Structure 1
Amino acid sequence: MLDAVLIQQCADPSLKPAIIEQFIAKAGSQDPLAITVRSGNRVVLVPKPTTPEEALALIRDNLGRNTVRVGITQYPAGLGIVEAGQLKPEMVESCENIRMGTALFAKVFRIVSKWYGNPTAKEVLPQIMDDAVLAWQTGYFEGVAVFREEDPGQEKITRPATADSKEPENGADSNEDAVSTATATDTVAPDPNKASIRIDLSGIGARP
């Protein structure tokens, strides 16, 4: 199991540790040097890297012609990269990979949750989680390219989320979690995704 301290120090703060653990268990790897290469639906067998340098060389050799996933979160290596020379060595470093991967998964989760109508019922949240993981693995949800889609509502966490956190009323104390609309960086997203929303993630990972 992934070190809880590593999750606390490196993961995106808008996701509860329980969500991150589920995400990595279902879609990630315990090996920070894990490289998965796919050509369409076919897994390409590649040598297992033993050093960060070997991992980066393997990514560069396959980037642009195959789909490459990297590290603990199986982050999509080609995202936002025009050429292999733009690869960051930190991508195969545990903390940075968790930081990048969980931040991107949080966006994917919000996209899926918005499609469901942003429900808070505990009975629905496991299905949202499963669909978000599938979207992470495939890159698509309901025909939407989730990695390039605009974030429907990025939460800015000002303090650690607690299990009993409640939705603030209008005019709530300034110490409550702030929510802002993400700035559009990709024109793929339709206009409805520009709306600011708040998602209660506290129910995910909770035991009945």
Structure 2
Amino acid sequence: MIDAALIHQCTDPQIEIAIIERFITEAGSDNPLSVTITAGDRIILPEPPRNADDAVRLIRRFVGQATVRVGITQYPAGYDVSDTTEISADLVDACQNIRMGSALFGKVYRIVAHARGEDGSDVFREAIAAWRTGMFQDAYVFGEADPGPVSGEENVSIEDSPKAMADSELDRTTPMSEQNFDPYAAGIRVDLSTLKGQENHE
């Protein structure tokens, strides 16, 4: 469980803290060193990093070859990176990850909210789906321009209404339905820890 005080301290000021708290609950990780790697229909399972240096090496190894999500917000490690040397331990620092992840999710949320206009009841759910897949309306959502503040954003409810709870359960139990546009949708799991001995002989 992530400390609420840390979320309040580190969340980007352009997005409501309540939105980020629910975002981390539904799409994030409790482990700042979490590195999730997917390629095609596989989830790649290397040996979990024990510290920030291990995590950075693992991220650099797979960025550009697979989809790599990192840290508390499961931030897309390859976003806005032209060279793996640009990847730093900031990605697995709890506060920095929340700051970067909340800023990027805030942009995704605003993109979805602007597209949906006054019909904002499903904005959060669609923003979560876009975050997970990286796609919204057939476009790479992370690369889209930030449309700016949403008029009446404070009126968009993110409370756990019966419909929201049902949507949340659907999101957790049918992840593939949200990954229709994801070229790295999760499926078969591949444990790479058994290859460790082989790598040492290469």
* Fold similarity call, TM over 0.5: yes
- Distance change (3 Å), C-alpha of 1:16 and 1:50: same
CA distance in 2, matches of 1:199, 1:77: 32
For residue 198 of structure 1, what is the amino acid of its counterpart?
S
- Distance change (3 Å), C-alpha of 1:207 and 1:136: closer
Unaligned runs of 5+ in 1: 156-196
1:164-195: CA deviations, max 9, x gaps?
xxxxxxxxxxxxxxxxxxxxxxxxxxxxxxxx
Unaligned runs of 5+ in 2: 162-202
Is residue 124–residue 158 contact of structure 2 (8 Å, CA) maintained in 1? no
Alignment match, 1:183: none
For residue 15 of structure 2, what is the amino acid of its counterpart?
L
Is residue 73–residue 97 contact of structure 2 (8 Å, CA) maintained in 1? yes
Q: How far has the Cα of 1:206 moved from its partner?
A: 3.6
Q: Which residue of 126, 134, 138 maps to 1:143?
A: 138
Q: How far has the Cα of 1:141 moved from its partner?
A: 0.8
Alignment match, 1:200: 153
CA distance in 2, matches of 1:3, 1:62: 30
Query: Within the alignment, does 1:107 sit opposite 2:60 as a pair?
Result: no
Alignment match, 1:9: 9
The runs of 4+ residues in structure 1 deviating greater than 6 Å are: none
1:82-121: CA deviations, max 9, x gaps?
111111221110000000000000000011111111446x
Question: What does 1:155-194 correspond to in 2, within 5 Å?
Answer: 155=149
Is residue 60–residue 84 contact of structure 1 (8 Å, CA) maintained in 2? yes
What TM-score comes out, normalization by structure 1 length?
0.73
CA distance in 2, matches of 1:45, 1:19: 30
Is residue 67–residue 76 contact of structure 1 (8 Å, CA) maintained in 2? yes
CA distance in 2, matches of 1:80, 1:98: 17
Using CA pairs under 8 Å that are at least 6 residues apart, name the structure with larger relative contact order, 1 or 2: 2
Q: How far has the Cα of 1:74 moved from its partner?
A: 0.4
What TM-score comes out, normalization by structure 2 length?
0.75
Is residue 38–residue 66 contact of structure 1 (8 Å, CA) maintained in 2? yes
Q: Secondary structure of 2:36's partner?
A: strand
CA RMSD of aligned residues (A): 1.6
For residue 130 of structure 2, what is the amino acid of its counterpart?
A
Q: Secondary structure of 1:69's partner?
A: strand
Question: What does 1:11-30 correspond to in 2, within 5 Å?
Answer: 11-30=11-30
The answer to which of 1-10 and 198-207 deviates more is 198-207
Is residue 33–residue 51 contact of structure 1 (8 Å, CA) maintained in 2? yes
Is residue 35–residue 68 contact of structure 2 (8 Å, CA) maintained in 1? yes
Aligned length: 161
Q: How far has the Cα of 1:9 moved from its partner?
A: 0.8
Q: How far has the Cα of 1:199 moved from its partner?
A: 4.5
1:103-152: CA deviations, max 9, x gaps?
000000011111111446xxx1xx21111001001000111211000111
Q: How far has the Cα of 1:15 moved from its partner?
A: 2.3
Alignment match, 2:178: none
Alignment match, 2:66: 66
Alignment match, 1:129: 124
